[in-house]
């Protein structure tokens, strides 16, 4: 997977929304200014989501330059945490949940009323 090839050791989720029209320089400024983190930290993948939850961008410093990643879900949307403007560190398991479209910071099983199933 990408984590192995790119040497990703840490994944940081930028909660809230970001203008996905921004490129490398704009996203790097957001990392430093809004979240107070170092965008040049090698092995750290920063993830961003816009208003539409069917796509996200990632920014990764490779040591010699930035790698800009873009993912668009063909069917469905991600459950991206929108309630805060903080950056959250994700575990490997939480990252995989996010890539499946789940909210990695608020994993809840929905209550199902059996009478409404049929």
Residue 1's pLDDT is what? 45
Residue 18's pLDDT is what? 87
* pLDDT tens, position by position, 65-92: 999 999 887 776 666 766 666 777 877 7
Mean pLDDT of 107-118: 61
Query: HEC states along 47-91?
Result: EEECCCCCEEEEEEECCCCEEEEEEECCCCCCCCCCCCCCEEEEC
The pTM is what? 0.74
* pLDDT tens, position by position, 4-63: 556 788 888 888 888 999 999 999 999 999 888 999 999 899 999 888 888 889 999 998
């Amino acid at each position: 997977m990408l984590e192995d090839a790119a040497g990703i050791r840490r994944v940081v989720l930028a909660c809230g929304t970001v203008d996905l029209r921004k490129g490398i320089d704009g996203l790097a400024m957001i990392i430093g200014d809004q979240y107070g983190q170092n965008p040049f930290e090698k092995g750290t993948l920063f993830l961003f989501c816009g208003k539409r939850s069917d796509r996200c961008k990632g920014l990764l410093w490779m040591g010699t330059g930035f790698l800009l990643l873009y993912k668009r879900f063909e069917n469905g949307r991600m459950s991206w945490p929108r309630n805060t403007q903080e950056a959250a560190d994700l575990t490997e398991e939480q990252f995989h949940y996010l890539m499946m479209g789940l909210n990695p910071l608020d994993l809840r099983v929905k209550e199902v009323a059996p009478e409404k199933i049929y």
